[in-house]
Amino acid sequence: MNRRDFTQTLGLGAAGLFMPKIPALARTVTAEELLEPGLDIAIKKRLADVALNAATAKGATYADVRIARYLNQYVMTREDKVQNIINTESFGVGVRVIANGCWGFAAMGETQSEDDVARTAEKAVAFAKAHSRLMKKPVQLAPQKGFGEVSWKTKVEKHSFEIPVKEKTDLLLAVNGAAMSNGADFVNSTLFMINEQKYFASTDGSYIDQDVHRIWPNFTVTAVDKSSGLMATRESLSAPMGRSYDYLQTNPTDKLTGVTTRYNQGYDMLEDATAAAKQARLKLKAKSVEPGKWDLILDPSHTYLTIHESVGHATELDRVLGYEANLAGTSFATFDKWKSKNFNYGSKEVNFFADKTQPGSLGDVGWDDEGVKTKKWDIIKDGILVNYQAIRDQVHMLGETESQGCCYADSWSTVQFQRMANISLAPGKERLTVDEMIKDVKKGIYIIGDGSYSIDQQRYNFQFGGQLFYEIKDGQIAGMLRDVAYQSNTQEFWNSCVKVCDERDYRMGGTFFDGKGQPAQINSVSHGSSTARFNGVNVLNTGRKI
């Protein structure tokens, strides 16, 4: 194995830490049975009732059960070779209860007989009673009505798992070929595809069946200047989506980037790879940025990550309360700031909302993993912090009686807890295009795509890079820059936001493998915005002189 293959394999191994877990498959009730029309729901409902009845018989005052099957496929290529095709399948049952005022959880995946399900529920109750001896305060669970028997499905036109693997590898190899023939020296491309078949039931009276699909096509192209030894990369500008294979389709092209992600209609991977190879070559010859204060025009393909790190994680209530500190800490947006009702998180142009119902988003589902109907709510209004992200056992702290529906687990084998909802920057209210926004900029940088970043344990001080950087001089694009990163803190940065384009420019980005918790779990979440302008931001030069 050469150095490059070793490095890539090591990277995939690290990414694998955040991939869904792969326990043993079912035996008594097979996955094939669960998929058989007319039988799957009946079998799952019967098993759920067994778990709920067993839990309450042992003294649980509340119980819920998740019966889930997770299908994952990852297709990976490099230049003209298929490197790996990974298929995983996981099926099992997780039971969560409240007994003696305390949470308890147990899961099983090796067999699904009714006796085994009942024993799992009884274990959950036993754990809750044992833990209650150390409990300081009993769980205060927000009331939740039962929904009866209901279902929800991702809108699917082309089912990813019904598309032949050869068609997928042919696409990726064609993408690689397009990049190589347009100036790339190296290229890796990947398709991540996920299908979650989740059945939830609770003593509240809900029996919820959901079929969730997600997809992420992506690549990295590298161009090398052999005379100087410098390398430049450009990663795909695709947005991972809560869709299936129909996301890979052609749509009108953005004039500057050459990429068809605008309006989230679809993604032309071949066109993006062609543009990426050419742009990677241009990056090698681009002017190195002069550090100092610049006005920034940030494309939604970039802002999603800044939103995720500085607003999404910062307004998770468990981080705010100090209950969760793994993977980059707690939050500066403490309770006292929210209680003041006037904490200035950003300028009056800044409005953030959480929305678990946005079609095509990674977080788009009908109900969360504790049976709460998903919804939309405000996080920051006219620059003021007005709410957080909370679940059933947290919302009483906010003086609310209804969960916000953002409780999830990444497997039937893990307990559900508070996870980030889709957190998005609302579009501007006045009609404004990107071209019109650029015309007013005297000295600025237009940043497209996400890059390396760092942020402190309080989600406050940060630094972000990107994929493409264009200098703006006197209202005109003046050429490409390189070695760009900007540095700020959350409050200062969002207060420097002076304009946001209208809803015609609204697009989503997102993260497929967002880690949180200990043991770590993953989550998929989208962040939407329109192109936004930030004045007087500190820009660093991250490169070296040729």
466-511 residue pLDDT tens: 999 999 999 999 999 999 999 999 999 999 999 999 999 999 999 9
Rounded to 10°, the helix 40-57/114-131 angle is: 40
* Measured distance CA(175)–CA(276) in Å, rounded: 11
Residue 506: count of CB within 10 angstroms of its CB: 21
Please list the residues that pair with 146 across neighbouring strands: none
Of 24-38, 299-313, 321-335, 516-530, the poorest mean pLDDT is in: 24-38
CA 211 – CA 213 distance, rounded (Å): 7
Output the DSSP codes for 41-56. HHHHHHHHHHHHHHHH
Sequence-ordered alpha helix ranges (H) in 296-344: 300-307, 317-320, 335-339
Structure tokens at 234: 């450009």
Over 90: is that where the pLDDT of 183 sits? yes
pLDDT higher than 70, residue 220: yes
Domain-wise residue ranges, the chain: 292-541
Residues 380-400 pLDDT 10s? 999 999 999 999 999 999 999
pLDDT range class, residue 15, cuts 50, 70, 90:
very low
pLDDT of residue 76: 98
Burial (CB count within 10 angstroms: exposed 0-12, middle 13-18, buried 19+), residue 425: buried
Average pLDDT of the segment spanning 193-216: 97
Q: Which residue has the higher pLDDT, 546 or 308?
A: 308
What pLDDT band is residue 432 in, cutting at 50, 70 and 90?
very high
Judged against a pLDDT cut of 70, whether residue 28 lies above it is answered with no
Q: What pLDDT does residue 14 have?
A: 40
Q: Quote the tokens at residue 160.
A: 């990813």
Average pLDDT, the chain: 90
Range with the poorest average pLDDT among 158-162, 225-229, 286-290? 225-229
pLDDT at 256 over 60: no
pLDDT of 16 above 70? no
Query: What is the average per-residue pLDDT within 341-348?
Result: 97
The Cα–Cα gap between 467 and 446 comes to: 11
490: Cβ contacts below 8 Å, ≥ 6 apart: 310, 311, 314, 332, 345, 459, 460, 462
Q: What is the pLDDT of residue 251?
A: 56
pLDDT above 50 for 250:
yes
| Lookup: tokens for 86 | 């990974």
Note whether 72 and 193 are within 8 A (CB).
yes
The SS3 call for residue 384 is strand
Residue 325's pLDDT is what?
Answer: 84
Between residues 544 and 545, the one the model is more confident about? 544
Does 262 have pLDDT greater than 80?
no
Q: Phi/psi at 99 (nearest 5 deg)?
A: -140, 135
pLDDT in tens, 462-472: 999 999 999 99
**Residue 103 confidence (pLDDT):** 98
What SS3 string covers 429-478? CCCCCHHHHHHCCCEEEEEECCCCEEECCCCCEEEECCCEEEEEECCEEE
Determine the pLDDT at residue 248. Answer: 92
